[in-house]
Structure 1
Amino acid sequence: MAPLISEDPHIFDTANNMGSYRVLRAQVNGLGYFPNERLMPYLEQAGFGSTALIRTFDLRYDLISALVERWRPETHTFHFPCGECTVTLEDVALQLGLPIDGSPVTGVSAIADPFALCHSLLGVSPDDDEENLSGLKFTWLKARFEHLSANATEVDLMCAARAYIMHIIGGVLMPDAKNSRVHIMYLPLLADLSNARSYSWGFTVLAVLYRELCRTTKPATVDLGECLILLQS
């Protein structure tokens, strides 16, 4: 039978031999602004109403790095002297308010005409020179959608709600450790806001967090992404 414990290099095995303690780096792109009250009904409709109220806090990267040393990829649990524990779907549901049942979050990662998609669902597209737009910058989302016109139409409000959800997804729930953008592949899932809540966003957040923890157990890894506010809390 194959051994339960993998023989792949693990930071726990090398920590004592390192010249200095490894503290992981991370990039959390907090929203930097509160959602306009007129957006809340649409955020609630999409299943992100509670998540929109989350405020980022100071992360303890030394604490998070210590947690990573105790993570076992074979069981997806933290191994402590007192026993095992892990982040669960219940934690995701209670702390982030995301749906944990429903369809998997999946789709096409390469959008045929991303600029047309942005015009259709956001009402505007970035002025990027890229031939193939793959992500939306957080700075652009904030500058374009933070302030709403007093006479904004329902279509305008729905576009702003989609933009806010995109910022939540890429900046708080599933941020890339080295990126300042959110991938455009999530935008088509927000076309129908009432249908967006039918996806298991909470399950996806937990799955990618597990995957990231497994990746960062490798001794050479220096960056950490995904939902670190959930991990720390």
Structure 2
Amino acid sequence: MQLDWHLITALIERWKLETHTFHMPCGECTITLLDVAVQLGLLVDGELVVGSLNYDWKDVDVVSIRDTLVHTQLIGGFLFADKSNTLVHCIFLSLLIDFDQADTYAWGATCLAWLYRKLCRASSTWSLEIINPLMFLQV
């Protein structure tokens, strides 16, 4: 699926920071947790996704990190994308070390919060680009 940059730009221009809604000619609308759950199939009511950049990486088994990195493409390339579309933020890596535990987190709620944050940043007048799950925004 190809991104429609005109649509994405129009949505960003209509994003209101105060209400986290798109102001359209016919009224307001927004992306909800139900949208995330239905469209992405992500858990929205699991354990909170909280991380720290002060993680002690020397205590982590290198093999478990390598095995974890195989499963991070969805996170780094789609849900919590950065400019590279392939890298994963360190906050998320510590949550993926135990992949069975990672399945219990509310990734959908975190994805929505990440999208709102990126829309707020992109809608400011000084911003030149947007980095977030654009495919999800378009759908």
Query: Does the TM-score normalized on the shorter chain lie above 0.5?
Result: yes
Match of 1:186 in 2: 92
Work out whether 1:82 is the aligned partner of 2:13. Answer: no
- Residues 164 and 209 of structure 1: is their aligned pair in 2 closer, same or farther, counting only changes over 3 Å? same
Match of 1:68 in 2: 12
Decide which structure has greater helix share: 2
- Residues 181 and 118 of structure 1: is their aligned pair in 2 closer, same or farther, counting only changes over 3 Å? farther
Q: How does 1:203-214 map to 2 (within 5 A)?
A: 203-214=109-120
| Structure 1 runs not aligned, ≥5 long | 1-56, 124-158
Q: Rg larger in 1 or in 2?
A: 1
TM-score, normalisation: structure 1: 0.55
Match of 1:18 in 2: none
Match of 1:170 in 2: 76
CA RMSD of superposed structures (Å): 1.9
Q: Is the 8 A contact 1:175 1:227 kept in 2?
A: yes
- Residues 219 and 82 of structure 1: is their aligned pair in 2 closer, same or farther, counting only changes over 3 Å? same
Match of 1:3 in 2: none
Work out whether 1:229 is the aligned partner of 2:100. Answer: no
Give me the whole-angstrom Cα distance separating, in 1, the residues matched to 2:61 and 2:30: 38
The number of aligned residues is: 139
Q: How does 1:1-233 map to 2 (within 5 A)?
A: 57-113=1-57, 117=60, 119-123=62-66, 159=67, 162-177=68-83, 180-233=86-139
Identity of aligned residues (%): 44
How many angstroms does 1:180 deviate by? 4.6
| Structure 2 runs not aligned, ≥5 long | none
TM-score, normalisation: structure 2: 0.89
SS at match of 1:78: strand
SS at match of 1:122: helix
Give me the whole-angstrom Cα distance separating, in 2, the residues matched to 1:220 and 1:108: 28
